[in-house]
Amino acid sequence: MKQIQPVQIWYKGQLINATIFNLYVISDNLIDTAIFYYALYSGTLDQLGILLSSGNIIMSGTDYTTYESSPTSNDFAYSWGASQLNLILI
C-alpha cells in the first residue's frame, strides 16, 4: 500500500478523500501482460478506513517488459498504476 495525495471520491452521497492506494497482481501470463487489482481507501496505512473505489488495470507492452525485468518491480508497479489512475504517490 502507498499513501497518495488526497483525491475526492463520491461515496454514498458525499465527497470523501481517498488517501491510500493498494495494488496487487491478479493475473500474469509471464509473457507480455499482467492484470492488477487496485483499491482506493480513506484512512491511513495503519487503518485503511472505507473502500471508496476499486477495479482492474492491465499492463502490457514496454511497461510489462520493464516491470518484469525491474529489480524494484513493486515500486515500478505502484508508480505505473498511480500514473494510469492519475494519482500522485507521496
What's the CA gap between 41 and 3, in Å, rounded? 10
What's the CA gap between 25 and 56, in Å, rounded? 9
CA-CA-CA-CA dihedral for 77, 83, 23, 34, to nearest 10? -50
Q: What is the pLDDT of residues 1-13, one digit of tens each?
A: 999 999 999 999 9
Q: Kindly report the pTM of this predicted structure.
A: 0.93
CB 60 within 8 A of CB 67: no
Mean pLDDT taken over the chain: 97
